[in-house]
Amino acid sequence: MPSLAFSVIEALKVDSLHKLCSSLEPILRRVGIQKKGAALWLLGLACTQLLWRCVRNLPFLRHNGLEPLENSVV
């Protein structure tokens, strides 16, 4: 059977740990939101660059500006 002193010490440890976690939660949430925002920004930038590369490599944009399409009336 655990002693009363041991039980009190364990209860204080649990309470202290709970208070620490409660005080860290808002900070960790803020950091998580900032990291997620930065990751989404980088993902958007990468997608934009990839899209630009794809558009830039379209056959009618490769040379000097727009080229007339074949069989088109000018």
CA distance 74 to 67: 11
pLDDT on residue 24: 87
CA distance 39 to 44: 9
Running along the chain, 74 residues long, what does each successive block of 10 average in pLDDT?
A: 79 88 88 89 87 73 57 57
- Residue 67's contacts (CB-CB under 8 Å, 6 or more residues apart) are 60
pLDDT on residue 62: 56
What is the distance, to the nearest Å, from the Cα of residue 34 to the centroid of all Cα atoms in its chain? 8
pTM of the prediction?
0.46
